[in-house]
Amino acid sequence: MKTPPIVPLNEALSALLADPDLRGGLCRAEPTDYDPAEAREPEAAVQVRHARAANRCRRCPVLARCRAALDQDLGRSLTGFVLGGRRIVTTKGTR
């Protein structure tokens, strides 16, 4: 079984948000909150950013459609991001 290729976040979000059903996603407000840790970024700072992102996701009007799109495809190849209200922690398709 092949591991899916890693998809850069900007490509993943572009693909998700280009979908007419996902326009209006609240992730556009502060897209860097959803990113993985930067080099030497303290884990506490990452946790705070990701908590803000997940909270924004919970209030998002397109959350259900976003999660469906992620479950279908893109979330399997991302790691370290917050997408669809979930912190993606592996590249092997489990979250």
Tens digits of residue pLDDT in 17-40: 566 667 788 988 888 888 888 889
The residue ranges of every structural domain in the chain are 9-87
Tens digits of residue pLDDT in 67-82: 887 776 654 556 677 7
DSSP structure string for the chain: -PPPPP--HHHHHHHHHHSGGGTT-GGGSSGGGGSPPPTT--HHHHHHHHHHHHHHHHT-TTHHHHHHHHHHTGGGG--S-EETTEE---SSS--
